[in-house]
Amino acid sequence: MKYLVLIAYPSDGWSSMTADEQAESHKDHVRFHQAVGEHILGGEALASSSAATTLRHVGGQPVLTDGPFAETAEMIGGFYLIDAPDLDTVVEWCRILPHGYSLEIRPCVEIDMPA
């Protein structure tokens, strides 16, 4: 199964950390990569949600707004796309990531696309 792991943390999370804490956080990601290896199908760190642009269609017209889907205390700061046999395995791996994160683990749905 494929799982998307959404990483959320307080919006001032990274900037309020000391250099040592940032380095520690980085190391956790390295450990995660070592443990999960080729089961990581993709993953990125995202720029701050203040850099987000949201597109919705209103009355058939595309409307752009400044900012993320919803303003929340926590923001999505990154993601991993993982291939794993089951949820318990994903949870086991995610325990390696920095403990300041909230992680939303979402199974992906297989959709057959016409060729």
Partner 1 sequence: MSETIEQIWRDEWGRLLALLVGQFRRLDLAEDALADAFEAATRTWPRDGIPANPPAWLLTAARRRAVDRLRAEAVAARKEPLLVVDARTQQEAQAAMADPGDQPGALVDERLRLVFLCAHPALAPEAAAALTLRLVLGVSTADLARLFLVAEATMAARLTRARKKLTVAGVAFAVPSGERLAERVDVVATVAYLAFTAGYAPGSGPDVLRVDLAGEAIRLTRLLRQLLQGYAVQSPSAATESVPLLDALLALMLLQHSRRDARVDDAGRLVLLPDQDRSRWNRVEIDEALGLLAGLPQDPAARGHRATEFRLQALIAAEHAVAARAADTDWRRIADRYAALEHLSPSPVIRLNRAVAVAEADGPEAGLVLLDGLDGRWPHSHRVSAVRAELLVRAGRAQEAGAAYDQAISLCTNEAERAHLLARRAAADSVPGSTSG
Output the six-digit token pair for 74: 């926590």
User: What values do phi and psi take at 37, rounded to 5?
Assistant: 55, -125
Residue 27 · residue 98 · CB < 8 Å: no
Does 92 contact partner 1 by CB under 8 A?
Answer: yes
Integer Cα distance of 41 and 4 in angstroms:
10
Integer Cα distance of 34 and 96 in angstroms:
10
Rank residues 85 and 114 by Cβ distance to partner 1 and give the closer one.
Answer: 85
Q: What track of x and - describes contact with partner 1 for positions 48 through 87 (by CB under 8 A)?
A: ------------------------------------xxxx
Does 1 contact partner 1 by CB under 8 A?
Answer: yes
Cα angle at 43 between 66 and 40, to 5 degrees? Answer: 160
The least distance separating partner 1 from the CB of residue 50, rounded to whole angstroms, comes to 32
Does 112 contact partner 1 by CB under 8 A?
Answer: no
**Total binding residues toward partner 1, as defined by CB under 8 A:** 11
Q: Which chain residues interact with partner 1 by CB under 8 A?
A: 1, 3, 84-89, 92, 105, 107
